[in-house]
Amino acid sequence: MQKLCEQRAFRERDVGIGREVSAIARQARQDAERRGEFADAWIAAMPADLVAETWLESATPVAMVIGVASAPLGFAVDRALRAGALAKLRLQLRAPGLRVRTRIGPPPA
């Protein structure tokens, strides 16, 4: 009976954070690798004046979301993409179906 009581007794939670820390580190490493490749391709494909005014919000193998501060800047990015930058991005990233979307908002802090 005592053994049964010991098994049913309150167990303290495992407060070790090693597993969570390693999961966060792994995710950060994957994001840095993925975003690094997309950011490098963006810098190489776009005109320098637009690169300075834009930022990469998210990237997947099929879509990129680029942040812009204003609608006129978004229009300029769209014109540059239509003028050949999108083809360069697709070629560099080896992603023939890549789509680029702009999102207007404040730049990241």
Assess if residue 84 is contained within a domain: yes
Q: Does residue 12 have a pLDDT over 80? A: no
Assess if residue 65 is contained within a domain: yes
Domain span at 65:
18-104
DSSP code per residue over 65-93: EEEESSHHHHHHHHHHIIIIIHHHHHHHH
The pair of structure tokens assigned to 106 is 């404040």
The pair of structure tokens assigned to 52 is 């300075």
Q: Name the strand (E) or helix (H) holding 18.
A: helix 18-45
Query: Mind listing the pLDDT tens digit for each residue in 30-68?
Result: 777 667 889 899 999 999 999 999 998 888 889 999 999
Assess if residue 57 is contained within a domain: yes
CATH code for the domain in which residue 26 is found: 3.30.300
Q: Find all residues with CB under 8 Å of 99, minimum gap 6, and list them.
A: 62, 63, 64
Assess if residue 3 is contained within a domain: no
